[in-house]
């Protein structure tokens, strides 16, 4: 899965952006969860289809369901990236936390995931010192932007 980390990042950012746009004042847990799940599925299908269609166009190939299924599997890390912040939202619902609290924790979790992905990437590349710090700070910056997006929407 780490070899396909792009999907993890996409899925994480998509859910964070959706949670940023949610309003706990006008939405319910059921509406928020349903909206996030549907949007993530549409994004995953769209991303897989775009990759699949682009390859078919460049190779002048016809549509084969098995090839599209392969594209869906290849892009499944998008779903994996979405699961952590979505899981946080579901835990908040189960714990009877306010929707606003669960949304905020989901956003902060997504931001932390972006930092963690860069940290793990740097450690796997055997980085250390300032190089590892700079790479990790890049993930922290992306996470801060995800958090800042909430401020823009509200």
| Averages of pLDDT over each 10 residues, the chain, 154 residues | 73 87 78 92 92 86 86 91 94 95 94 94 94 94 91 76
pLDDT confidence of residue 79:
93
pLDDT confidence of residue 65:
87
pLDDT confidence of residue 137:
95
pLDDT confidence of residue 28:
87
pLDDT confidence of residue 143:
93
The H or E element that residue 152 is part of is helix 129-153
User: For residue 4, what are its two tokens?
Assistant: 């396909």
Measure Cα distances from 142 to 11, 60, 82, 149 in Å.
Answer: 14, 38, 16, 11
pLDDT confidence of residue 5:
73
Residue 115 in contact with residue 77, Cβ under 8 Å?
no
The domain ranges of the chain are 2-153
């Amino acid at each position: 899965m780490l070899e396909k980390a792009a999907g993890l990042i996409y899925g994480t950012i998509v859910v964070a952006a959706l949670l940023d746009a949610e309003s706990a004042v006008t939405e319910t847990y059921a509406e928020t969860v349903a909206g996030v799940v549907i949007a993530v599925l549409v994004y995953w299908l769209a991303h897989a289809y775009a990759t699949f269609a682009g390859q078919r166009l460049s190779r002048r190939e016809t549509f084969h369901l098995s090839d599209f299924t392969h594209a869906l599997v290849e892009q499944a890390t998008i779903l994996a990236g979405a699961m952590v912040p979505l899981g946080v939202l579901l835990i908040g619902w189960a714990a009877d936390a306010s929707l606003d609290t669960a949304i905020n924790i989901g956003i902060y979790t997504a931001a932390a995931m972006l930092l963690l992905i860069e940290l793990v990437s740097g450690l796997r590349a055997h980085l250390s010192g300032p190089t590892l710090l700079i790479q990790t700070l890049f993930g922290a910056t992306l996470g801060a932007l995800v958090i800042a997006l909430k401020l823009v929407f509200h």
